[in-house]
Amino acid sequence: MTLLSKATWLFFAACLIALIVSGIGGYVFLQKIMDEEATEQLAHEHQQVINFVEQTGVLPERWFSISDSLWAIPMQTVVPIQLFDTTLTNRAENESLMYRQLSFGIDTQLGYYQVNIRKALYKVHDLTKALLLAFSVLILLLVGILFWVNYSLSRNLWQPFYQTLAKLKTFKISEDEALHFAPTEIVEFKTLQTTLEQLTQKVRQDYISLKTFTENASHELQTPLAVIGANLEQLLQAANLTQTQVEQIDSLLDVVRRISKMNQALLLLTKIENRQYEAHESIDFSELVEDKLNLWEALIQHKGIKLTTHITPHVHIPINPFLADVLLNNLLNNAIKHNSKTGKIEVELTSQAFTVRNTGAPPTLPIEQLWERFSKDSIRNDSAGLGLALVKQICETNLFGYTYTFNDGWHTLKIVFNIY
């Protein structure tokens, strides 16, 4: 849920709670006012009757001039005043109706009487409900207008923030273009944009410095490693070496070769990230796959691996030839290296994708980690853990999709062309 949606729904919930509370309170308040009004009307009519009797000495002949529900009953003595509510049945509609009645005694020239004045409370209640309904509709309309106004104002108010987020999503650390945000008059958003510009600039500078150091260090290591390797090979040819010394020198040579191989892979990754291989050509990928399979055929046969191919001819894709060569070398090398003896490899090429499947033991790392640098199967010590990292970088550079799965003893690595 977005911040705007969250704030809008909180505002709506607050308005709804306020509406419920105010509705209940309004109903009780109106009910109380109407009840008091009914009581005051009865008291006023009571006073009119007393005033008339004091002036004339008798009860009025036309009761309707005072009240539409008033009658008198002859009594022997003066009865006390009483105010009470009662329920009467309307036989025509077969329903019970509430009334408030005021009964009081009065002394006239013709004797004592009990005067009764009655007011219908159900009319008061109906009026209260009608007023409450009218106020509720009015409040709901007001809340709806406020809800729409709040949402519209909030959306416009937070628009610079969402534009900043959208711009930040386009940030790529490997690109030189600086972030430029849309201007805004809101101080907080200005501060946010300024902070982000400074932060991304600092991150990019640190990244460039680290990348430059890695590239320079890897490049400078090549010569010392070559010298060490050459000297060790010459030393291996020396006479009077014991078997233990030969094994130690051979082990050192193996370490130097692995370091040199890893260093070359890091150099290649750096060059790819630096976009030094952006020049694309439309190459015949089918022919390149066939050539690579012919090169690896001897090793595949030596390991007793059964190879099955389904290659669509004349599949052309736009890619730098050198990167295409590196991509295939790494994919096929992994399929052979991580295969089991007398295992199987299946290679499939269509105009949409290139797939390499091979049998083998399940990976010892989570699949998502295998794409990272120096992440490798822990049971193998002859791998630098950069093969899939190179595949990932080449795919991202060329906007290819890439997936890796392991099911039923089969490793499947699929490259999807032109996913955008």
Q: Is position 334 within any domain?
A: yes
In this structure, the answer to whether residues 16 and 152 fall within a common structural domain is yes
In this structure, the answer to whether residues 142 and 220 fall within a common structural domain is no
Q: Is position 173 within any domain?
A: no
Residue 345 β-bridge partners: 307, 358
In this structure, the answer to whether residues 118 and 261 fall within a common structural domain is no
Mean pLDDT, the chain cut into blocks of 10 residues (420 residues total): 72 79 78 80 86 84 68 85 80 72 86 85 67 77 80 79 83 75 83 86 81 71 76 78 80 76 67 65 90 88 89 89 86 87 90 92 76 59 66 85 89 80
Give the amino acid at 78.
Answer: V
Position 274 scores a pLDDT of 63
Please give the Cα distance from 49 to 64 (Å, whole number).
Answer: 12
In this structure, the answer to whether residues 352 and 382 fall within a common structural domain is yes
In this structure, the answer to whether residues 130 and 215 fall within a common structural domain is no
Q: pLDDT tens across 143-191, in order? A: 788 778 877 877 787 888 888 888 888 887 767 777 778 888 888 888 8
In this structure, the answer to whether residues 143 and 263 fall within a common structural domain is no
Residue 112 β-bridge partners: 75, 107
Domain count, the chain: 3
Position 355 scores a pLDDT of 94
Residue 412 β-bridge partners: 357, 405
In this structure, the answer to whether residues 91 and 39 fall within a common structural domain is yes
Please give the Cα distance from 153 to 147 (Å, whole number).
Answer: 10
Q: Is position 162 within any domain?
A: no
Q: Which domain holds residue 355?
A: 281-416
Point out the domain boundary residue: 273, 304, 334.
Answer: 273
In this structure, the answer to whether residues 290 and 249 fall within a common structural domain is no
CATH no. for residue 313? 3.30.565.10
Q: Is position 168 within any domain?
A: no
Q: Is position 161 within any domain?
A: no
Place of tokens 């490793």: 411
Q: pLDDT tens across 7-41, in order? A: 777 777 887 787 788 778 877 787 788 778 788 88
Position 354 scores a pLDDT of 93
Residue 84 β-bridge partners: 101
Position 265 scores a pLDDT of 67
In this structure, the answer to whether residues 395 and 292 fall within a common structural domain is yes
Position 420 scores a pLDDT of 47
Point out the domain boundary residue: 273, 289, 321.
Answer: 273
pTM of whole model > 0.85?
no
